[in-house]
Amino acid sequence: MRFIAARDDRRPIGAFFTRYAGVWLWLLPLLFLGLFFFYPLGAVFHLAINWAFTQGWSVDVWEQVAHPLLFTVWQALLSTLLTLVLGLPAAYVLARYTFPGKTVLQVLTTLPFILPTIVVAVAFNALLGPRGVINVLLMQAFNLANPPLQVMNTLGLILLAHVFYNTTIVIRIVGSAWSQLDQRLEQAARVLGASSTKVAWEVTLPLLRPSILAASLLVFLFDFTSFGVILLLGGPHFATLEVEIYTQALQMLNLPLAGLLSAIQLLCTLLLTVVYARLGDKQPIPLIPRLQGEGTRPPRGWRQKLLVAGMAAVLLALLVSPLAALALRSVTRLDANRGERGPVIPGLTLDYYRQLFINQQDSIFYVPPVQAARNSLAYALATTGLSLSMGFLAVYAMRTRSRRWMEALFMLPLGASAVTLGLGFILVFNRPPLDVRSFPWLVPVAHSLVALPFVVRTLQPVLLSIPGSLRQAAAVLGASPWRVWLEVDLPVMLRAVLVSAILSFTISLGEFGATSFLARPEYPTLPIAIFRFLSLPGALNYGQALAMATVLMAVCGISILIMDKMSV
Amino acid sequence: MLEVGDIYKNYAGKPLLQGVSFGVGEGETVCLLGPSGSGKSTLLRIIAGLELPEAGKILWDGKDMASIPVHRRNFGLMFQDYALLPHRSVAENVAFGLRMQALTRAEIQARVAESLEKVHMAAFAPRRVTDLSGGEQQRVALARALAPRPRLLMLDEPLGALDRTLREQLIEELHRLLQTTGIPAIYVTHDQEEAFALADRLVMLHDGRVEQVGSPAEVYGRPASAWAARFLGFNNLIAGSVAALDPLRVNTAIGTFQPAEMPIPIPALGSPVTLLIRPTGVKLAGNDHQVNQVSGVVEDALFQGDRFRIGLGCTLAVSLQFYLPEPLIPGQNAVLVIEASSIVCLE
């Protein structure tokens, strides 16, 4: 007793802090979530409920809500199905086979994920639009007066863009589970007399089911909250909830209706997110991380070769053709720069790129695209740091069984669309006592919230897969808790940490929805700048948007290459 | 029944198996014995059809298996870490192979119960395999491999991950099971004790080649080479040269020895050979012998219950081990005489 008393006497204040340091570690991410997620969303709900009570629930309002809601669900279902149809075989091929050009293909599959929706939209426009590469080629070949391919503003194009955009998610999630799947399980089934089809149904699919479900839900969520693609490719006929919120809030200035739509969307997506988070409740099959490449081999026999070659060709066509069209179109002049009359000589040009660096004095909102790129990079770095530190704290906090409830909590931002978040930020931080909307740091905060669920989702399973005995072994060998983390947790998690970093960095670079609400006119990001130029008339502005989209594509590509190198 | 013919296989560009041949007869248990990395597991996987050899044939009753896919071979394979399907219960794991044979539900149930009974795991049928201990998983894996009544059972280091007591117990059970079922079996291990206990025939692998084939008694009594002797745990190996042939006399750095048996083939006069001196069959020398005696300084004497293990330093380079009923005092000189039958001339 004397001993304990003496120890307490010696450091009355120090003991307080060491005892509660652990509490701060898991309270910090909760506070972050509370201030920047629940508070703004609460404000959105408050606005919507207030309005619904004062206005009443008329047929008119119901129609304004039901139409976008039904369309949102419909297109998300279709998109998810199509994405799985392409993504599952692609995940299989990439997880199990080595083939020439695989590395290139893997880097390519990360591209659509990091490209802003707006770039994807512009790219598909440059490929399939009325003045896109394919139409121009067809018109020249058959001497046609009008573009033969009329796919702009159709549901088909929206679906295609969604498939392009989300196949990567299926490849990442399912492919990673697939490559970590113990192949001896399948071999054991083979030896026990199961044909390869039987093995697929009885062993592989059941073991992959959690990851397939997770990927499907995630893809569905992304399609459900799709914004840029529908805004730019769907035209006026197609409005998802997200687009409708944007239109009502920023164009009709009808904040209450925007709030109501947001509240309805939130309910839907939060429900989906809770389901998605519950998938994680099933005890993950512990898999010791294997070296990359183990268990992959070149295809054998003509059937495997055909599958691999076919899959690679389809992926290449889907992933490369819009991007190549974008790059090509950004250096091709087809009509007069500013709509002047007279003959135009079609050909290659660098005009659009040269224009990016020219500061046009006639516009006060004009920011050189170079500056926009610099803004984007700074925001992306801040986002990476913020979401990784919050993600790490959160993941470690949830490791304890008693704090499992935090898991669902940190998946919630996934369910809130970026546009809704942006609306909430405006509602909350635009008021006198807390007028901080003018601070540029709100952008990386919003980006971090978007990225946080991905970071948590990436880090958590790896952390849980580390057997406790590894840590105990290290501790017994004399490693302090900090050393244990450094020598055991970090090396095992390194790949997951890098993946998280890539995810948050690229999510920030590409984020458009929240940024469109929060970015100050003089601090645009690249996606915002592209959108601005795209909405201006004339071939020169269209060309500049294409050029910027190409630049952003390159910036994303370079950053992903750097990080790809780091992870080897 | 099974004929493995001249199998070649490379792994990561290096030759792993270089012309391995052996056979398995009816009801016979063959142990593939070799150090880790000697290609034993790969050989099993080739026989199962999970891997293709660069050259060589797998024949079953004279029929080439090359064109028969894995799942039609009806060979049972028990994986080293069991490879139990984590999403299925114990009973479902055992039932898997039976369902592939499209048996009726009643048949499957009966056979699952029977197989689990055989390995004393009947009570575990509804449990999740992830909740089982290593020994329990081992039994389930065995039941799963046996349930479809394979025409050949292959076991890849089945006891490798288990502790010693459990191993000894399971060796007995495995032995009984292999005897009663009469299924021809290939048992892969790096542990000679397991191999001796279970094998009807031993096939020793070294550097991708078959080092020696024979019954456990043959292999133990007459290792084919110094490497084989060392791998079997014999440490008293001395280099020497043939001094006389009738009777055989071998000169070494620590004296002249007369082995009881002539090695086959008969070595030439003066050719280098290796002598294996068994640690048993020695006694303290009463009077001076001309041959079959070793002298040196006692290095240590370890009490082992029914005997003492004596370390004898004969020269600076040569140190031998013997078992004696009585202790010797370390540091003292000792002279031991060895029975001729305990001296084996190798190569």
Distance from C-alpha of B42 to C-alpha of B19, rounded to nearest angstrom:
13
Same domain, B264 and B311: yes
Sheet holding B63-64, edge to edge: B14-24, B2-11, B55-60, B63-64
Distance from C-alpha of A89 to C-alpha of A107, rounded to nearest angstrom:
18
Q: What are phi and psi of B343, to 5 degrees?
A: -110, 125
Distance from C-alpha of A530 to C-alpha of A517, rounded to nearest angstrom:
15
What stretch of H or E contains A483?
A: helix A481-484
Partner residues linked to B251 by β-bridges: B241, B256
Token match 């997951």: residue?
Answer: A496
Same domain, B204 and B84: yes
Best residue in B77, B81, B152 to probe A by mutation, most A CBs within 10 Å?
B77
**Which residue numbers in chain A have pLDDT < 70?**
1-22, 56-57, 113-114, 277, 280-295, 335-346, 359-366, 401, 431-439, 559, 562-568
Partner residues linked to B296 by β-bridges: B334
Give Cα separations from A393 to A26, A31, A35, A145, A457 (angstroms): 6, 12, 17, 61, 13
Taking residue B135's Cβ as centre, other Cβ atoms within 10 Å add up to 17
Does the distance separating the beta carbons of B83 and A188 come in below 8 Å?
A: yes
Does the distance separating the beta carbons of A202 and B74 come in below 8 Å?
A: no
Domain total for chain B?
2
Same domain, B100 and B72: yes
Same domain, B206 and B240: no
Does the distance separating the beta carbons of A193 and B72 come in below 8 Å?
A: yes
Question: What pLDDT is recorded for position B91?
Answer: 93
Instruction: Work out whether the CA dihedral A452, A454, A456, A459 comes out positive or negative.
Output: negative
Question: What pLDDT is recorded for position A509?
Answer: 84
Pairing of strands B29-33, B185-189: parallel
Q: A7-16, A500-509, B247-256, B326-335 — which is least confidently predicted?
A: A7-16
Same domain, B199 and B73: yes
Residue B57 burial (10 A CB sphere; 0-12, 13-18, 19+): middle
Same domain, B254 and B162: no
State the distance between the two ends of chain A, measured CA to CA, in whole angstroms.
55
Of the candidates B339, B210, B228, B220, the residue with the CA atom closest to the CA atom of residue B283:
B339
Does the distance separating the beta carbons of A185 and B85 come in below 8 Å?
A: yes
pLDDT, mean of residues B172-191 = 91
Look at residues B164, B194, B225 and tell me which one is the last residue of a structural domain. Answer: B225
What stretch of H or E contains A50?
A: helix A39-55
- How far off is chain B from A397, nearest CA to CA, in Å? 26
Same domain, B295 and B183: no
pLDDT, mean of residues B179-190 = 92
- How far off is chain A from B72, nearest CA to CA, in Å? 6
Same domain, B110 and B249: no
**Domain of B277?**
234-346
Of the candidates A178, A188, A207, the residue with the CA atom closest to the CA atom of residue A96:
A178
CATH of residue B336's domain is 2.40.50.100
Q: What are phi and psi of B11, to 5 degrees?
A: -130, 125
Asked whether B337 and B282 are in contact (CB, 8 A), the reply is yes
Q: A136-145, B65-74, B89-98 — which is least confidently predicted?
A: A136-145
- How far off is chain B from A98, nearest CA to CA, in Å? 15
Token match 């299925």: residue?
Answer: B88
Q: What single letter denotes the amino acid at residue B151?
A: R
Does the distance separating the beta carbons of B101 and A193 come in below 8 Å?
A: yes
Look at residues B185, B201, B225 and tell me which one is the last residue of a structural domain. Answer: B225
Paired tokens of B30 = 């063959």
Q: Indicate if the pLDDT at residue B22 is higher than 90.
A: yes
- How far off is chain A from B92, nearest CA to CA, in Å? 11
Using alpha carbons only, how large is chain B's radius of gyration in Å? 24
pLDDT, mean of residues B88-108 = 90
CATH of residue B161's domain is 3.40.50.300
Instruction: Work out whether the CA dihedral B48, B54, B56, B61 comes out positive or negative.
Output: positive
Long-range residue pairs from A307-311, CB within 8 A, at least 24 positions apart, any chain: A307/A89, A307/A93, A308/A93, A308/A97, A308/A99, A309/A99, A311/A89, A311/A90, A311/A93
Using alpha carbons only, how large is chain A's radius of gyration in Å? 26
Chain A neighbors of B70, CB-CB under 8 A: 187, 190-191
Asked whether B79 and A184 are in contact (CB, 8 A), the reply is yes
Q: Within the 165-184 window of chain A, which residues sit less than 8 Å (CB to CB) from chain B?
A: 182, 184
Same domain, B200 and B242: no
Same domain, B280 and B182: no
Which of the pair, B31 or A15, is modelled with greater confidence?
A: B31
pLDDT digits (tens, 9 = 90+) for B132-159: 888 899 899 999 999 999 999 999 998 8
Question: What pLDDT is recorded for position A485?
Answer: 81
Interface check A22 vs B, CB under 8 A: no
Same domain, B219 and B238: no
Asked whether A443 and A520 are in contact (CB, 8 A), the reply is no
Q: What are phi and psi of B265, to 5 degrees?
A: -70, 160
Distance from C-alpha of A523 to C-alpha of A93, rounded to nearest angstrom:
43
Look at residues B225, B250, B279 and tell me which one is the last residue of a structural domain. Answer: B225
Same domain, B277 and B173: no
- How far off is chain B from A300, nearest CA to CA, in Å? 11
Paired tokens of B235 = 């440490």
Q: What are phi and psi of A250, to 5 degrees?
A: -100, -25
Complex confidence, ipTM: 0.77
Which of the pair, B233 or A19, is modelled with greater confidence?
A: B233
Of the candidates B190, B125, B118, the residue with the CA atom closest to the CA atom of residue B159:
B190
Give Cα separations from A188 to A202, A239, B17, B108 (angstroms): 12, 51, 23, 18
Distance from C-alpha of A365 to C-alpha of A487, rounded to nearest angstrom:
51
**Domains of chain A (ranges plus CATH)?**
21-57+348-568 (1.10.3720.10), 73-284+291-329 (1.10.3720.10)
Distance from C-alpha of A179 to C-alpha of A95, rounded to nearest angstrom:
5
Q: Within the 129-188 window of chain B, which residues sit less than 8 Å (CB to CB) from chain A?
A: 130, 144-145, 148
Distance from C-alpha of B10 to C-alpha of B17, rounded to nearest angstrom:
7
Chain B neighbors of A185, CB-CB under 8 A: 83, 85-86
